[in-house]
Amino acid sequence: MAYQTIDPNTNTLEKTYSNTTPTQISEMLATGHAFYKQERNVNPATRAATLHAVAAYFRNNADEMAAIITREMGKRTEEALFEVELCAEIADMYADRAPALLQPQPINSTAGAVVINHLASGIVFGVEPWNFPYYQLMRVFAPNFMVGNAVIIKPSSNVPASGLEFEKAVLGGGADKGAFQIALIGHADSETFIKDPRVAGVCLTGSERAGSQVAALAGKYLKKSLLELGGMDAFLVLDGADLDTVIPEAIKTRLMNCGQVCTSSKRFIVLDKYYDDFVAGLKKGFENLKIGDPSDPTVNVGPMTSQKAKDKLQKQVDEAIAHGAKVVYGNTPVDLPGAFFQPTILTDIDQDNPAYRTELFGPVACVYKVHSEDEAVELANDVPYGLGAQSLRVTLITLQKSQLGLKPAWLVPIKAKTIMLNCHSAV
- State the catalytic residue, choosing from 228, 249, 359, 378: 228
State yes or no: is 72 an active-site residue.
no
Over 80: is that where the pLDDT of 422 sits?
no
Q: What's the CA gap between 104 and 268, in Å, rounded?
A: 46
What are the start-end ranges of the H helices in 42-159? 45-60, 62-73, 77-101, 135-147
Q: Tell me, what CATH number does 177's domain have?
A: 3.40.605.10
- Residues 418 and 425: their CA atoms lie apart, in Å, by 10
- If asked whether residues 223 and 247 sit together in one domain, one would say no
Inform me whether the pLDDT recorded for 405 exceeds 70: no
Average pLDDT over residues 15-20: 98
Residue that finishes a domain, picked among 228, 245, 267: 228
> 37 phi and psi, to 5 degrees?
-65, -35
Structural domain harbouring 93: 3-228
Split into its structural domains, the chain has a count of 2
List pLDDT tens digits, range 145-175: 999 999 999 999 999 999 999 999 999 999 9
One-letter amino acid for residue 56 of the chain? A
CA distance 283 to 381: 26
Residue 128 inside a domain? The answer is yes
Query: Does 210 lie in the same domain as 246?
Result: no
DSSP of 49-63: HHHHHHHHHHHHTHH
pTM for the predicted model, two decimal places: 0.93
Q: For position 345, which CATH number holds?
A: 3.40.309.10
Q: Residues 263-291: what's their mean pLDDT?
A: 96
For the segment 38-58, the average pLDDT, to the nearest whole number, is: 97
Are the beta carbons of 148 and 39 closer than 8 angstroms? yes
pLDDT (average), residues 309-330: 99
Same domain flag for 377 and 390: yes
Q: Is residue 426 part of a domain?
A: no
Q: What is the pLDDT of residues 105-152, one digit of tens each?
A: 999 888 888 999 999 999 999 999 999 999 999 999 999 999 999 999
